[in-house]
Amino acid sequence: MTSGTTGGSGARDTVLGRVRDALALAPPRETAVPRAYRTGRRLPDDERLALFTDRLTDYRATVLTCTADGTAAAVARALADRGARRIGVPAGLDRSWLADWDGEVREDSSDVPPRDLESLDGVVTASAAGCAETGTVFLDASPDQGRRALSLVPDLHVCVVDLSAVEAGVPEALARVVPGRPTTLISGPSATSDIELERVEGVHGPRTLVVVVRTDM
Amino acid sequence: MSRPESRGTGSTFLGMPARPPRVPYGDGNLRGEEAFPRAAAGELRNEQLRRNLGRATGTIRGKRLAVTGELPDWEELRDAGAALKTDALNRLPELLEELERKVTERGGTVHWARDGAEANAIVTRLVKAAGSDEVIKVKSMATQEIGLNEHLEDAGITPWETDLAELIVQLGHDRPSHILVPAIHRNRDEIREIFLKEIPGVDPSLDSVPAHLAAAARAYLREKFMTTRVAVSGANFGIAETGTLGVVESEGNGRMCLTLPETLITVMGIEKVLPRHQDLEVFLQLLPRSSTGERMNPYTSLWTGVTEGDGPQDFHLVLLDNGRTAALADAVGRQALNCIRCSACLNVCPVYERVGGHAYGSTYPGPIGAVLTPQLAGMHAADDDPNSSLPYASTLCGACYDACPVKIDIPSLLVELRHQKTEESGRSAERLAMRAAAAVMGRPRLWTAAQRTARLGRALAGRDGTIGRLPAPFSGWSDTRDTPAPPKHTFRDWFASDEGAAALRDAAREGERRRAERRTSGDDQEDQ
């Protein structure tokens, strides 16, 4: 028994014993896992951008494209268009992205109580990867993305993505994620379909997602 | 399986494998109050329910077909998904131990629970140890299954469901009726009524626009997210290789529960383990497209143990058996454990669509529930067990098999469970009748005589030529279907009669005529 296991070794040994008994009573046939599905896909930049934009827009996210030099202007526009005045940023965010922004900026840290995040109009983060086919942005809690709560509590999330980190499909995008990091996959704004399956944006997470895609990175 | 089992120890002697026990009778939410036919009859009378269900399942079927059709490798993904789950079950002991080791290495604590009662006790103890008298909950089938909420309430702990549909169910003092959209049986007006009655301080002018209802839920739960120190979740996946757990959701309530509290307790069925992190690439394509008909669900959270400065600093994983090993011991039935809880089978099932989830009595309704529930909790012949009726809650049309992203052969499992039920029901009337029929069919003269006698059955039939109710012991058959009246003549009588002989002559003449026609029109024409 490992030191982190509690609840009595009795239950652990019993459950594992039952599993072994079950497999002994009905010995399974060995199963090979066929992986004939698509992996390692490559799509040209323009096709990946078009697909990514289409899928994000379909899920009612807003997509802005810019060059690396134009990041600050795009971020400022995304924030200003939605009337944000006070934003939060992770400690490791490239501050040059906020060069054109004249509102208040609060740097997040783990000492800030989640409740304080509610007073923010929005948050700006970077991202770890993207998936074009599903319109998904991957955050892995790197210093330029911050802790998970930061991109969750405020109602507006502006997420900067480099097109070079956007992959065609799920297998390719997932391969960019470092296993073991707190990882959040975001596909459009918060949504529910629980009332007569009618999609409603924004239940508990950000109601607005703006993805700023830097096309020359 | 034929009688309630006591809580087994599972320990083995001298290498003799013992059959793992099913869920103790009466524990948790894996058994309804009444058998399926009776429960279904009640639900069928609810027109509002049928309308809500018909609309909802129709919509979701269309969406699912559209997005699965987008992927040219959908069948290959299904093959991979089915094989991955099967392989994981085959290697369950090593994978569970690996998962335990990795979670522990990353600062989490792993607990094992033989059954729901044990899991409930572990969670209760952990909540109390954290000094809290309330928990926020992410929608979770495993905690529904074991009746965690009821148990927590009895222990003086308030559970707050935070998924919108689960909240509607909880506030409505109702039960979930669908795996994915538990409040599928409610429409917007009913939901508005529930909110007006149950949410303290709700705006009395609240209308029934879904966006406004969702906003009311958001306002109501915000405070809970910010102040509750303990969260309870389930898990869609547990990755053995890395100790990573995953929750797939839409609303962000999951993210709130998984990141804001100080303590996180995750209850995971042992069948949810996957070997490798890479395996997520298959299930993150299969699950959202099959369940909500989306290319990807809005939010997926993956976490591994405890991460300093990000999320709960106290993490507990409860690994739950609760009948899963009993299902695993069945060479045919075990494939029900491959289920990833997408609910695609519910949405395509003609039976589910008409009777809804409550008729099944279990946390797991619909086709998958009809095969999973009896395996987890058993079919007890002794006391007219509702679970014994579940394998019959199907037309065996096979739509569920076609829809299942991990290719669970639900129709075959239903037939196998019917077989097991019949085998174990002992000297039932049904069995005696079948044995008598076999004896008669084996002797031609008796068979002819029996068929003639059956003509008397016409006297029972109504004007529409069907018999509505048969006397016992055949009432079990006639309660759920009409029996066609026996024909006036048996086939043997007809064959021997003048009428039969004339019909056969006519048929022979017709065949001769067609052959002649074909010869004159050139013999390469196929007869249509």
Q: Which of B67, B216, B344, B273 is nearest to A187 (CA)?
A: B67
Residue A7 has pLDDT above 60, yes or no: no
Decide: A100 and A72 in contact? Cβ < 8 Å: yes
Which own/partner contact pairs does B20-23 have at CB distance under 8 Å and 24+ positions apart? B20/A18, B20/A21, B20/A22, B20/B321, B20/B325, B20/B326, B20/B328, B20/B329, B21/B323, B21/B326, B22/B323, B22/B326, B22/B375, B22/B376, B22/B377, B22/B378, B23/B115, B23/B116, B23/B322, B23/B323, B23/B376, B23/B377, B23/B378
Closest approach of chain A CAs to the CA of B437, in angstroms? 34
Q: Please report where in the chains the tokens 């052969």 appear, as a residue.
A: B409
Closest approach of chain A CAs to the CA of B293, in angstroms? 11
Which pLDDT belongs to residue A193? 85
Is B86 in the A-facing interface, judged by CB distances under 8 Å?
A: yes
* Coil, strand or helix at B17: coil
Residue of A nearest to B212 (CA): A200
Closest approach of chain B CAs to the CA of A215, in angstroms? 23
Establish, for the pair of chains A and B, how many residue pairs have beta carbons separated by less than 8 Å. Answer: 300
B289: which chain A residues are within 8 Å (Cβ-Cβ)?
A: none
Q: State the Cα–Cα distance between residues B158 and B152, nearest whole angstrom.
A: 7
Closest approach of chain B CAs to the CA of A48, in angstroms? 16
Which pLDDT belongs to residue A85? 96
Please give the C-alpha separations between residue A149 and each of A135, B281, B305, in angstroms, as whole numbers. Answer: 21, 25, 17
Which pLDDT belongs to residue A4? 47
Is B319 in the A-facing interface, judged by CB distances under 8 Å?
A: yes
pLDDT category of residue A199 using cuts at 50, 70 and 90 = confident
How far is Cα of residue B75 from the mean position of the Cα atoms in its chain?
22
Joined tokens for residue B369: 């529930």
Where do runs of H (alpha helix) occur along B228-312? 253-259, 280-291
Is B6 in the A-facing interface, judged by CB distances under 8 Å?
A: no
Half-sphere CA count of A192, side-chain side, radius 13 A: 31
**B288-344 tens-digit pLDDT:** 999 999 999 999 999 999 999 999 999 999 999 999 999 999 999 999 999 999 999
Q: State the Cα–Cα distance between residues A71 and A99, nearest whole angstrom.
A: 9
Residue A17 has its nearest CB partner, among B12, B56, B73, at B12
Query: How many residues does this entry show for chain B?
Result: 528
Residue A148 has its nearest CB partner, among B11, B93, B255, at B255
CB contact under 8 A, A16 and B93: yes
Is B250 in the A-facing interface, judged by CB distances under 8 Å?
A: yes
Diameter of chain A measured on Cα atoms: 70
Closest approach of chain B CAs to the CA of A109, in angstroms? 8
Residue of A nearest to B300 (CA): A185
B12: which chain A residues are within 8 Å (Cβ-Cβ)?
A: 17, 21
CB contact under 8 A, B255 and A34: no
Residue of B nearest to A178 (CA): B277
pLDDT under 70 in chain B at which residues?
Answer: 1-15, 382-383, 425-434, 454-465, 467-480, 522-528
A118: which chain B residues are within 8 Å (Cβ-Cβ)?
A: 222, 226
- Quote the mean pLDDT of chain B: 89
Query: What is the C-alpha R_g of chain A?
Result: 21
Decide: B350 and B399 in contact? Cβ < 8 Å: yes
ipTM of predicted complex: 0.96
